[in-house]
């Protein structure tokens, strides 16, 4: 069922909203660094009170949210005053109620044999910073790759994410880590490749003014450089004044793999080897918890993160996730909600066997 969104500004309905969704429920303050768990204290005379720890400077307006059953409720609040002991009083302005049912059950993991950890963590944010801090090594790797290509192609571009995420090809590969192959822009593509061709023309070529000024370049191959074959952090692009073949496409794809191997050889990317606890899990997501703030740098909402889940019986499952939410819970524990995007075949078997062993069944 698609999401349904209802906006409520009628103050006469506010008492019912607080009673149904906020009372006796987990409530969070939306902040720049993630969602902070707070406590709903009550609603009376048109104002509402929350107990909010750790916040030194509360803005004049804020968003406070909660979830109950299949509903997510986002409220906009205007600050009235701060009382003693972290107590804040607000005027509620409006609510947005989103009907968004969870697609599956999520299991809270206990101790003993059911406990899960994740290690060897690295994120695209860390990849980007590592590239920015090792520019000399990055340039050396670019030179090696250029040497293999410069005698064969009139135009070459090797680009990495530390140079900026506004580049049209970098944006494309970040969302779709699939190689681009345009064998001949002057030839009409067949029906199978027409959508791919139109995406290239409208979203990439149309924004590449250098290529538009070099009309003799009629073909392009661009391949993403992927960390462990999963997280895109750069690309290799070649353009030609002659049509390109499938054989050349295979060579450039292989060069993308070689590029990642060169970065591994130079040890540019160092994953976090500490073990972080997985507090809950499902077939499509995991919740990671930790208390030490040094780990927060590995997580940013909307970013990719990759790591090894340590399953019972000395089994590992390599997993690629997207960070969906970050919340500061009670006792300053940080919880990161992640959506699983990719598991290799063997890792998927091991992980699903584990979930079934603790009582979860795939739908």
In this predicted model, which residue has the larger pLDDT, 242 or 329?
242
pLDDT for 111 beyond 70: no
CATH code, residues 135-265: 3.30.450.40
Rg of the chain in Å (alpha carbons): 25
Q: What is the pLDDT of residues 275-329, one digit of tens each?
A: 999 998 999 999 999 988 888 888 988 899 999 999 988 889 999 999 988 888 8
Residue 8 contacts residue 95 (beta carbons within 8 Å): yes
- The CATH fold assigned to 4-99 is Pnp Oxidase; Chain A (2.30.110)
Which pTM was predicted? Answer: 0.74
pLDDT for residue 360: 81
Could you tell me the residue ranges of all domains in the chain? 4-99, 107-124+271-357, 135-265
Query: Which range has the worst mean pLDDT, 29-38, 136-145, 147-156?
Result: 29-38
CATH code, residues 107-124+271-357: 2.40.10.220
Share of the chain above pLDDT 90, in %: 63
Residue 273 contacts residue 119 (beta carbons within 8 Å): yes
pLDDT for residue 256: 95
Q: What is the DSSP letter of 272?
A: B
In this predicted model, which residue has the larger pLDDT, 156 or 35?
156
The SS3 call for residue 48 is strand
155 burial level (CB within 10 Å; 0-12, 13-18, 19+): middle
Distances (CA, A) of 341 to 24, 106, 171, 284, 285: 33, 16, 18, 8, 9
For range 218-231, the mean pLDDT = 95
pLDDT for residue 144: 93
pLDDT for residue 5: 81
pLDDT for 258 beyond 60: yes
Residues 6+ apart with CB under 8 A from 243: 183, 184, 187, 218, 219
Share of the chain above pLDDT 70, in %: 94
Q: What average pLDDT is seen over the chain?
A: 89
Residue 1 pLDDT class (50, 70, 90 cuts): very low
Q: How many residues does the chain have?
A: 363
Q: Smallest Cα–Cα separation from 22: which of 36, 3, 41? A: 41
For range 332-346, the mean pLDDT = 90
Q: What is the pLDDT of residues 5-58, one digit of tens each?
A: 889 999 999 999 999 999 999 999 998 777 889 999 999 999 999 999 888 889
Q: Smallest Cα–Cα separation from 262: which of 351, 166, 168, 131? A: 131
Q: Smallest Cα–Cα separation from 332: which of 296, 291, 288, 279? A: 291
> Which residue is associated with the tokens 């139109």?
198
Residue 226 contacts residue 235 (beta carbons within 8 Å): no
pLDDT for residue 101: 57
pLDDT for 91 beyond 70: yes
């Amino acid at each position: 069922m698609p999401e349904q969104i209802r906006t409520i500004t009628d103050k006469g309905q506010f008492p019912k909203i607080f009673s149904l969704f906020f009372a006796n429920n987990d409530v969070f303050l939306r902040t720049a660094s993630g969602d902070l768990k707070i406590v709903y204290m009550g609603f009376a005379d048109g104002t509402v009170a929350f107990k909010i720890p750790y916040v030194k400077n509360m803005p004049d307006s804020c968003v406070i949210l909660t979830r109950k059953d299949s509903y997510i409720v986002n409220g906009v609040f205007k600050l009235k005053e701060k009382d003693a002991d972290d107590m804040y009083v607000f005027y509620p302005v409006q609510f947005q109620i989103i009907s968004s049912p969870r697609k599956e059950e999520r299991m809270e993991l206990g101790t003993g044999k059911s406990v899960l950890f994740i290690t060897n963590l690295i994120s695209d944010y860390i990849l980007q910073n590592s590239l920015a801090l090792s520019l000399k090594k990055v340039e050396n790797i670019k030179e090696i790759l250029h040497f293999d290509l410069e005698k064969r192609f009139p135009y070459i571009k090797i680009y990495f994410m530390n140079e900026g995420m506004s580049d049209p090809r970098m944006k494309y590969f970040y969302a779709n880590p699939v190689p681009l192959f345009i064998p001949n822009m002057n030839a009409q593509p067949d029906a199978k490749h027409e959508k791919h061709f139109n995406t290239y023309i409208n979203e990439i070529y149309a924004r590449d003014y250098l290529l538009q000024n070099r009309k003799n370049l009629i073909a392009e191959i661009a391949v993403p450089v992927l960390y462990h074959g999963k997280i895109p952090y750069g690309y290799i692009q070649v353009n030609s004044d002659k049509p390109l073949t499938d054989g050349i496409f295979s060579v450039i794809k292989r060069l993308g793999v070689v590029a990642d191997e060169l970065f591994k050889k130079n040890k540019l990317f160092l994953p976090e080897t500490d073990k972080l606890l997985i507090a809950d899990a499902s077939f499509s997501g995991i919740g990671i918890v930790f208390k030490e703030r040094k780990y927060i740098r590995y997580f940013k909402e909307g970013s990719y993160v990759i790591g090894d889940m340590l399953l019972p019986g000395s089994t590992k499952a390599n997993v690629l996730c997207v960070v969906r939410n970050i919340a500061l819970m009670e006792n300053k524990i940080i919880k990161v909600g992640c959506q699983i995007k990719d598991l290799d075949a063997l890792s998927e078997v091991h992980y699903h066997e584990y979930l079934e062993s603790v009582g979860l069944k795939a739908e």
